[in-house]
Amino acid sequence: MRFAVIVFPGSNCDRDMYHAVKDVLGEEADLVWYQNSNLENYDGILLPGGFSYGDYLRTGAVAATSDVMNQVKKHARNGKPILGVCNGFQILTEAGLLPGALMQNKKLSFMCHQEELVVENNETIFTRGFEKGEVVRFPIAHGEGNYYCNSETLSELQTNDQIVFTYRNNPNGSVENIAGIINKHGNVLGMMPHPERAVEALLGSNDGLKLFQSLVKNWRESYYVTNA
């Protein structure tokens, strides 16, 4: 499987994402500068964390208007798997690929530590390697990770089982403890915690490896069925 790790001005978790899929998982990966809008030859698209464009206006708002996001939207419509982590999640909401918005943390301070998450939906292409209700440990590193949506959107997320991860100890004030959600078609996942920083025990947790392994396994199974 070949991944594109999109790099915006201000991205700072792109190397972490690249290391997770290239060095740890052993898959193909390229760091793709945001001005390169050709993503045709990639099987999956990864939007890393950081501070794209210095988080001016709103976090992710400027990056969401870049040319490469037109390609990301196209591939999202065509079913290609897309993962946005931290700032990547913010970009996905600003681009309209996921509902809701990320606001400033409830305590108005930057947070950087390990958090326990609950796997609420293990029937997605990203989470089939987990057990439903499994508790995992991923680090967070954000100042605007407070997920918000209105009651109508929340009801829709719950009805469609689009809430994939929740916090056990909500650190930022997110509505209903939401840490990660998926789109209705099940191919676009956005989450504030960093699975790419939890792929080796040396880092304090290797729980994030299951997410990437699940994605690759699902892609390979789909690929061989399609090309059989």
User: What single DSSP character describes residue 55?
Assistant: G
- Catalytic-residue membership of 196: yes
Catalytic-role residue among 13, 75, 149, 194:
194
CA 165 to chain CA mean position, Å: 11
The answer to whether 195 and 89 are in contact (CB under 8 A) is no
Pairing relationship of beta strands 146-148 and 101-103 according to DSSP bridges: antiparallel
- Catalytic-residue membership of 194: yes
The answer to whether 24 and 209 are in contact (CB under 8 A) is yes
Determine the Cα–Cα distance for residues 220 and 216; give it in Å rounded to an integer.
Answer: 6
Determine the Cα–Cα distance for residues 18 and 10; give it in Å rounded to an integer.
Answer: 16
3-state secondary structure 126-193: CCCCCCCCCEEEEEEEECCCEEECCHHHHHHHHHCCCEEEEECCCCCCCHHHEEEEECCCCCEEEECC
The three-state secondary structure class of 30 is: strand
Catalytic-role residue among 27, 86, 94, 144:
86
Active site residues: 86, 194, 196
